[in-house]
Amino acid sequence: MVERIVYYAGCFANYYDPQIGKALIEVMRQNGIEALIPEQKCCGMPMMANGNVKGAAKNFNYNVKLLSRAASPGYDIITTCPSGNLMFRKEGLAFFDSEEARFVSGHIYDAGEYLLRLHHQGRLDTNFREIPLKVFYHNPCHLKVQNITKEPVALLKLIPGLVVSKVNTNCCGMGGSYGMKAVNYDLSVQIAQKVWEDVKAAEVDRIVTECGGCKLQLEAGTGINAVHPIVLLNEAYRSS
Amino acid sequence: MAEIPSILVLEPAAEQSQRRTAGIMVKKGPQLDLESLKAHLREIRQHSRDNHISLLEELKRNLDQYAGVKLAIATDAKQAASYIKQTAEGTDLASINKSSVVINELRPELQASGFKTYIRYFTEFKNFEKFEKKVEDYWALPGMHERGLVESFDVRKTVTRLRSSEVRDFVAILGVNAVSAEDGSVFFLQHMTNISKDLEQAKKIILVVSLEKVVKDRGAALFQTRCMGIFGLESILLDLGPKEVEQYDFDSLPTLSGDQGRELHILILDNGRKGLLKDGYKDLFLCLDCRACARQCPIGLHLLANKGMVYSPKNYLLGFLQGWLPPAEACVHCGRCQVECPVEIDIPTLLWKGQFEYYARHGRGLRKRLLDNPELLAKLGSWTAPLANWAKDRVIFKLIMQVVAGIHRQARLPTFHRQTLRKWAKGGRRG
């Protein structure tokens, strides 16, 4: 029997950086796992942030219905989006509770969290090629608050040659579209300043972070390319 | 002299702390079981939340035994300020402590009624370097809350009578850390010597008790005050910069002859709290105001701390719910305020709730409505890529976005892809 997971991509991996989703599918395939991608919409958190509670409820309910149906044979739900993960695990549940929402909340995992679990079970293919890179890992707030901080770093350290020279758990001030808004822009930049300085001081080749918003913020202030850890893992598989 | 309830002032215990620190260094001294500590604190706070009406009644009954204390209950800050004004009998000089209820809720009303308010420990910053050294010795910032320092906060002073030869003509308005319903004893955590001096010197002493600060007994009050130190000292200390404008040398005031006219008042302040209990914000009652949440909040330091407010995400929400702050829109919704809360208040969810209720009552502006479906904008961008990518970097487009949608012209916008992941997964899977 083929092992399967249900993949919730989120808006960033779908519209702005499809490479993340493709990498997830390929990393899973490398480990003998098929990724199913059911129909899905924005998780609803950006709508909540703009006060569109009805729209958020509609999207959330749509998603939990389809995700729970797809995962009903006993599959785990995996996401590469920290905010989507938090939305389904906790934030949305507080306002749009349902049996399906509780099911999704109990079955959704961050991709890094899931892959490290595979590794601890001795099931992760660790036949990675060497990637001689020095990276700065930025832990997005929406993972930090779920206590997912060590897992991504532990995964990255499995890649030979890759050095995680600095781990940052401070907020970068972006918060989805929060930092893009004129009303918040200056505050967002002030918050980011510390992280930007840390990145520059670390003299790294790349930034690694799971969150699309953090990626934009960190690239904007440092000029250094930021990638999702799953993209690096996939890169490490490709030539192995 | 009429009897008053005991007023107990806690301080970090220097010698003990130093011994403990040495112990940790040498033999990894006894570590605090942080989880047991939090569980006990939650139990105390839940009891206060769930029994606030009976606790208040018990406190009133017990305070009646003390002829030397006058009890007042104010429904809002205006009423509280009016009571204090009446009590002050012509004095407009007030020493206040940095309790959030006094600074955030009472101070604006006190100032509006003509009081000059000062936080007296700012004068103690004359010797700031020495203070900094004390901080390092006692608490070894940051991260003291993870160390076994619970016993380092001890009762250093107990006041049981109002007699003093140091009385000066000013009012001390002090927000308390806890009050025991069982015997009326009052507890403070003191940063430096400000509370002790106010208790010794002020002609009129007003102890301000926000409703949630009433706890079941003396043991609970002592424990809660210690927890204020354990979980809150870092945030409190990090918020203590010497501020010229707030300095006043109360020590240089002439002493009054005898202690005639000294009064002790206990002022219970509701200020909308009972309403919040009914409106689904009852967990705010669990808060001991330790401000551990502030340590995690990315916006606090930049946004409000320098505007005279005792900032914490919880206080930000409370201020909005009480009506003295605009809607809590500066919240970035990072969720970090829950991470260190010792009583596990789900502040992120309560912040969402507060905002939703506000929008339901007042509606949303055009810009919010324009941005309220980001996926639709993403779809439009994908359908029109690469044109959308070309356009998003043009100055004229950026200006239009700023004026119409409120997106800052310097904001970095993401790049759209004509072939989205889902299209790729459904179809050709090229590239």
pLDDT value at residue B231: 86
Average pLDDT over all residues of chain A: 96
Per-residue pLDDT, B278: 86
Please name the member of A42, A45, A182 whose beta carbon is closest to the beta carbon of B408: A182
pLDDT of B415-428, one tens digit each? 999 999 998 988 75
One-letter amino acid for residue B7 of the chain: I
Neighbouring residues of B33: CB distance < 8 A, sequence distance ≥ 6: none
| Whether residue A35 has pLDDT greater than 70 | yes
State the virtual CA torsion across B103, B106, B110, B113 in degrees, nearest 10. 150
The average confidence (pLDDT) of chain B is 85
Q: Do B298 and A37 touch (CB under 8 A)?
A: no
Judging contacts by C-beta atoms under 8 Å, the chain B residues touching residue A26 are none
pLDDT in tens, A217-227: 999 999 999 99
Q: What is the mean pLDDT of residues B385-400?
A: 91
Q: Which of A51, A178, A183 faces B372 most closely, judged by CB atoms?
A: A51
Distance from CA of A175 to the nearest CA of B (A): 5
User: Higher pLDDT residue, B429 or B53?
Assistant: B53
Q: Is the pLDDT of residue B298 over 60?
A: yes
H helices of B255-312, in order, are: 273-278, 292-296, 300-303
- Give B 302-321 residues with CB within 8 A of chain A: 302-303
Question: CA angle, B159 as apex, B155 and B162 as ends, to 5°?
Answer: 165
Percent of chain B with pLDDT over 90: 57
**Average pLDDT, stretch A51-63?**
96
Contacting A residues, span 98-127, partner chain B, CB-CB under 8 Å: none
User: Using CA atoms, how far apart are residues B121 and B391, in angstroms rounded to an integer?
Assistant: 57
Check residue B241 and report its DSSP letter: -
Write out the DSSP string of B32-78. Answer: P-HHHHHHHHHHHHHHHHHTHHHHHHHHHHHHTT-TTEEEEEESSHH
Phi/psi at B87 (5° precision): -65, -35
Distance CA(B247)–CA(B250), nearest Å, equals 9
Q: Give me the DSSP letters along A109-141.
A: EEHHHHHHHHHHTT-S---PPP--EEEEEE--H
pLDDT surpassing 80 at residue B138: no
Range with the poorest average pLDDT among A129-138, B17-26, B146-155, B358-367: B17-26
The band of B29, judged by pLDDT with boundaries at 50, 70 and 90, is: very low
Which of A118-132, B140-154, B304-318 is predicted most confidently?
A118-132
* Contact B377/A at CB under 8 A: no
Of A110-124, B186-200, B231-245, B268-282, the poorest mean pLDDT is in B231-245
Query: Is pLDDT above 90 for A43?
Result: yes
Q: Which residues 128-167 on chain A approach chain B with CB closer than 8 angstroms?
A: 141-142, 144-145
Q: Which of the residue ranges B53-67, B115-129, B315-329 has the most confident prediction, judged by mean pLDDT?
A: B53-67
Q: What is the mean pLDDT of residues A110-119?
A: 98
Confidence band, pLDDT 50/70/90 cuts, at residue B429: low
What pLDDT score does B290 carry? 92
Q: Residue B294: which of B307, B308, B305, B286 has the closest Cα?
A: B305
Instruction: Over range A168-185, report the average pLDDT.
Output: 93
Say yes or no for a CB contact (<8 Å) between B332 and A178: yes
pLDDT tens, position by position, B72-84: 999 999 999 999 9
pLDDT, tens digit (0-9, with 9 covering 90-100), for B6-28: 999 998 765 444 444 433 333 34
Which one has a higher pLDDT value, B301 or B391? B391
* Gap between the Cα atoms of B395 and B298, Å rounded: 30
Q: What is the pLDDT of residue B28?
A: 42
Q: Which of A81-90, A114-123, B129-138 has the lowest mean pLDDT?
A: B129-138
Query: What was the pLDDT predicted at B328?
Result: 79
Mean pLDDT of A135-140: 98
- The model's confidence at residue B329, banded by pLDDT at 50, 70 and 90, is confident
Preceding amide of A38 cis, omega within 30: no
Does B106 score more than 90 pLDDT? Answer: yes
Residue B38 vs residue B1, higher pLDDT: B38
ipTM of the complex: 0.95
Q: Which token pair is B6?
A: 């005991």
Query: Which residues lie closer than 8 Å to B358 by C-beta, 6 or more apart?
Result: B320, B327
Half-sphere CA count of B427, side-chain side, radius 13 A: 9
Mean pLDDT of A86-111: 98
Q: pLDDT at residue B304 above 50?
A: yes
Measuring CA to CA, which residue among B355, B348, B315 is closest to residue A144? B348
Could you read off the pLDDT of B251-263 as tens digits, one per residue? Answer: 999 999 865 689 9
The 3-state DSSP class for residue B95 equals: strand
Using an 8 Å CB-CB cutoff, list chain B residues near A170: 298
